[in-house]
Structure 1
Amino acid sequence: VLGEGRVPIGEIAVADVDAVLHRNGEVVAEGNSSAVLGDPLTAVAWLARKVEGFGVRLRAGDVVLPGTATRAIDVVAGDRFVAEFAGLGSVSLDFI
């Protein structure tokens, strides 16, 4: 999720962000960013090397989603999800 507020990379331990996922007000998953290959930055570095073999280069400003801190959760119409990320804030999503 991209918002107007930005956190400089040096101000957060990217490999240790706790996450809590709520569905309809109930906690359904908890995790940590270390679930993404031990460190999301490791996943981005791997991706950059991998796509280079196809003649593609990641550029400054590219948006890369390296993985998820929690397990996948099934959704149905009417569900409301809120994901909280320690030190970063939260995001919500309604399925209609």
Structure 2
Amino acid sequence: MNQADKERIVWAALSAGAVIGASMVARKSADRAWRQLRGDTPPKDAAEPSNSWRDLILWAGASGLSVALARFVAQGIVSKLWRKRLGRRPPGQ
């Protein structure tokens, strides 16, 4: 295995770890924010009669946006750290 292959593997692991961690934190934060703002749990099941379509759509948008933003930020941070440490762009970017 050459150096470029090793760097690709390390980059994939770092990137995936950062994105997974950030996604988990964002989802929990969105859940907490919903509870504070709405006073109840976020809707989880579209088949549940007590969940309105309005709430389902709001929750899908809010949680999806928070996770996407967290992933974007995490990827950028890991990329900057890679560039600072190695002086070049991460593999495949």
TM-score higher than 0.5: no
Which one scores higher on RCO, CA 8 angstroms, separation ≥ 6?
A: 2
The alignment's TM-score, normalised by the length of structure 1, stands at 0.31
**Structure whose CA Rg is larger:** 2
More helix by share: 2
The alignment's TM-score, normalised by the length of structure 2, stands at 0.32
